[in-house]
Structure 1
Amino acid sequence: MINLKEILSTFTNEQQQDFLLYLDKKNKRKDAKDCLLVKLILSDNLSSSEISNILYRKQNKPALHALRKRLFQSLIDFTANMSMKEENSIDIKLIKYILSARNFLQKGQVKVGYQVLDKTIIIANEHQLFSILNEIYHTKIQFAHLNKSLNLHRLIIDFKENQQQLLLEDNLNITYAQIRKSLVDYQQNKSNLDIKQLIENVLEEHQITISDSLSFKSLYQIIQITSISSAQKFDYYNIEPFIINTYQVIKNHTSKEKQLYYHIEVLYLIANVLFRNKKFNISLQYLDLMQFYMNEKRQKYYSDFASKHDLLLALNLNYSKNQENAITLLQPYIDKKNIDTIAQLDIALSLIVFYYQHKSLDKAQKIFSQFYHTDKWYIEKAGIVWTIKKNLIEILLQIDLGNIDLVDSRLQSFKRNYFTNLSEINEERVITYLKLVEIYYRNPDIATSKEFKEKVERSFSWIDTKKEDVFMISFFAWLKAKMTKQDIYLITLNLINN
Structure 2
Amino acid sequence: MINIKEILTTFPQQQQQDFIAFLIKKNKRKDTKNVQLVKLLLIDNLSSVEVSEKLYGKQNKAALHALRKRLFKSLIDFTANLSIKEENSIDMQLIKYILSARNFLQKGQIKIGYQILDKTSIIAKEHQLFTILNEIFHTKIQYAHLVKSINLESLVLEFKENQQHLLMEDNLNIVYAKIRTSLAKYHQKKSTLDIKTLIENTLKEQNIVISNALSFKSLYQIIQITSISSAQYFDYWNVEQFIINTYNIIKNHNSKDKQHFYHLKILYLIANVLFRNKKFEESIKYLDIMFLHMKGKKQKYYNVFLPKYHLILALNFNYSNKSKEAINLLAPYIDRKNVDIIHQLDLLLCLVVFYFQNNQLEKAQKIMAKFYLTDKKYIEKAGIVWTIKKSLIDILLQIDMSNVDLVDSRLKSFKRNYFINLSKINQERVIIFLKLVEIYYKNPAIVTSEEFYNKVEKSFNWVIIKKEDIFLISFFAWLKSKMTKQDIYTVTLNMINN
Q: TM-score, normalised by structure 2?
A: 0.94
Are the aligned partners of 1:188 and 1:380 in contact in 2 as well (CA < 8 Å)? no
- Give how far 1:453 is off: 2.0
Alignment correspondent of 1:390: 390
Instruction: Name the residue aligned to 1:362.
Output: 362
Write the deviation string for residues 288-318 of structure 1: whole angstroms up to 9, x where unpaired. 3223333333332233333322222221221
8 Å CA contact retained: 2:12, 2:337? no
Report Cα offsets for 1:6-54 as digits up to 9, x if no partner: 3333434443343333323322223333233333333333443343333
Match of 2:171 in 1: 171
Q: What is the distance in 2 between the residues matched to 1:104 and 1:374?
A: 58
Q: How far apart in 1 are the matches of 2:435 and 2:46?
A: 46
Partner residue, 2:486: 486
Taking structure 1 as reference, are residues 420 and 21 closer, same or farther at Cα in structure 2, changes over 3 Å only? closer
Give the deviation of 1:187 after TM superposition: 3.4
Query: In the TM superposition, what is the alpha-carbon distance from 1:113 to its structure 2 partner?
Result: 1.8
Q: Which amino acid aligns with 1:38?
A: V
1:123 is displaced (CA, Å) by: 0.6
CA distance in 2, matches of 1:64, 1:204: 53
Do the aligned partners of 1:179 and 1:199 also contact (CA within 8 Å) in 2?
Answer: yes
Whole-Å separation in 1 of the counterparts to 2:413 and 2:68 = 42
| Structure 2 CA distance for aligned equivalents of residues 471 and 54 of structure 1 | 49
Q: Answer yes or no: is the 8 Å Cα contact 1:474–1:492 preserved in 2.
A: yes
Partners in 2 of 1:485 and 1:433 — Cα distance? 18
| Counterpart residue identity of residue 24, structure 1 | I
Are the counterparts in 2 of residues 169 and 218 from structure 1 also a CA contact under 8 Å?
yes
Q: Is the 8 A contact 2:98 2:120 kept in 1?
A: yes
1:238 counterpart SS class: helix
Is the 1:187–1:385 Cα contact (8 Å) retained in structure 2? no
Question: Is the alpha carbon distance of 1:478 and 1:75 closer, same or farther for their aligned partners in structure 2, counting shifts above 3 Å?
Answer: same
Q: Secondary structure at the match of 1:74?
A: helix
**Superposed displacement of residue 442, structure 1:** 2.8
Check the 8 A contact 1:10/1:338 in 2, yes or no: no
Letter in 1 for 2:435: K
Structure 1 residue 188: Cα displacement: 4.0
d(CA) in 1 for partners of 2:261, 2:9: 22
- Which secondary structure does the structure 2 equivalent of 1:148 belong to? coil
Deviation at 1:355, TM superposition (A): 1.4
**Map of 1:63 onto structure 2:** 63
What letter matches 1:335 in structure 2? D
Q: Report which stretch shifted further, 270-279 or 302-311.
A: 302-311
| Structure 1 equivalent of residue 476 of structure 2 | 476
2:34 is matched with 34
CA distance in 1, matches of 2:446, 2:436: 11
Q: 1:300 to 1:43 in 2, by over 3 A?
A: farther
Q: Which residue of 2 aligns with 1:293?
A: 293
1:132-211 counterparts in 2 under 5 A?
Answer: 132-211=132-211
User: Per the alignment, in what secondary structure is the counterpart of residue 258 of structure 2?
Assistant: helix
User: Residues 41-71 of structure 1: CA distance to partner in whole angstroms, max 9, x if unpaired?
Assistant: 3333344334333333333332222222222
Mapping 1:314-329, distance limit 5 Å? 314-329=314-329
Q: Which range moved further: 355-364 or 193-202? A: 355-364
Instruction: Please name the residue that 1:217 is paired with.
Output: 217
Structure 1 421/16 Cα, relative in aligned 2: closer, same or farther at 3 Å? closer
**Equivalent-residue separation in structure 2 for 1:423 and 1:153 (angstroms):** 59
Matched, 1:239 2:232: no
**Separation of aligned partners in 1, 2:378 and 2:18:** 32
C-alpha displacement at 1:408, in angstroms? 3.1
What pairs with 1:275-286 in structure 2 (closer than 5 Å)? 275-286=275-286
Distance 1:14 1:435 in 2: 45
- Paired with 1:412 and 1:21, the residues of 2 have a C-alpha distance of 48
- Cα distance between partner residues in 1 of 2:368 and 2:143: 66
Q: Within 2, Cα distance between the matches of 1:26 and 1:408?
A: 54
Distance in 2 between residues matched to 1:262 and 1:277, nearest whole Å: 23
Whether the 8 Å CA contact 2:12–2:340 is kept in 1: the answer is no
Q: 1:47-98 CA deviation, whole Å, 9 max, x = no partner?
A: 4334333333333332222222222212212222222233212112111221
Match of 2:25? 25
Change (3 A) 1:12 1:299: farther
Counting only pairs closer than 5 Å after superposition, residues 107-146 of structure 1 correspond to structure 2 as 107-146=107-146
Q: Is the 8 A contact 2:477 2:495 kept in 1?
A: yes
Residue aligned with 2:213, SS: coil
- CA gap of 1:458–1:468, structure 2 versus 1, over 3 A, is same
Runs (4+) of structure 1 exceeding 4 A deviation are: none
How far, CA to CA, are the matches of 1:295 and 1:331 in structure 2? 23
Structure 1 residue identity aligned to 2:207:
Q
Distance 1:53 1:363, change over 3 A: same
Percentage of matched positions with identical amino acids:
71
Q: In structure 2, what is the Cα distance between the partners aligned to 1:450 and 1:259?
A: 58
Distance 1:127 1:354 in 2: 42
Mapped contact 1:97–1:120 kept (Cα < 8 A): yes
The question of 1:77 aligning with 2:77 is answered: yes
For 1:269, give the aligned amino acid.
L
Match of 2:429 in 1: 429
Q: Which moved more, 1:316-325 or 1:168-177?
A: 316-325
* Residues 52 and 58, structure 2, Cα contact 8 Å, conserved in 1: yes
Q: Distance in 2 between matches of 1:392 and 1:492?
A: 16
Partner-residue secondary structure (3-state), 1:212: coil
Q: Which amino acid aligns with 1:345?
A: L
The answer to whether residue 449 in structure 2 is matched with residue 449 in structure 1 is yes
Per-residue Cα deviation, 1:195-229 (whole angstroms, up to 9, x for no partner): 11100000011111112221111111000001111
- CA drift of 1:337 comes to 4.0
| CA 1:202–1:254: 2 relative to 1, 3 Å | same
Q: Which moved more, 1:5-14 or 1:211-220?
A: 5-14
Seen in structure 2, the aligned counterparts of structure 1 residues 108 and 409 have a Cα distance that, compared at 3 Å, is closer
For structure 1, which segment, 127-136 or 10-19, has the greater mean C-alpha deviation from structure 2 after superposition?
10-19
Give CA-to-partner distance per residue, 1:240-266, whole Å, 9 cap, x none: 111111111212222222212111111
Q: Partners in 2 of 1:9 and 1:309 — Cα distance?
A: 24
- Secondary structure at 1:239's aligned position in 2? helix
Q: Which amino acid aligns with 1:204?
A: K
Structure 1 contact 9–338 (Cα < 8 Å) conserved: no
Match of 1:268 in 2: 268
Root mean square deviation of aligned Cα: 2.0
Letter in 2 for 1:202: T
Q: Which residue number corresponds to residue 459 of structure 1?
A: 459
Bigger mean CA offset, 11-20 vs 466-475? 11-20
Q: Please tell me the residue identity of whatever aligns with 1:145.
A: H
Normalization by structure 1: what TM-score? 0.94
- Taking the aligned partners of 1:446 and 1:76, their CA distance within structure 2 comes to 61
Residue 19 and residue 324 in structure 1: after superposition, are their counterparts in 2 closer, same or farther (change >3 A)?
same
Do 1:97 and 1:116's aligned partners in 2 also have CA atoms closer than 8 Å?
Answer: yes
- Secondary structure at the aligned position of 2:474 is classed as helix
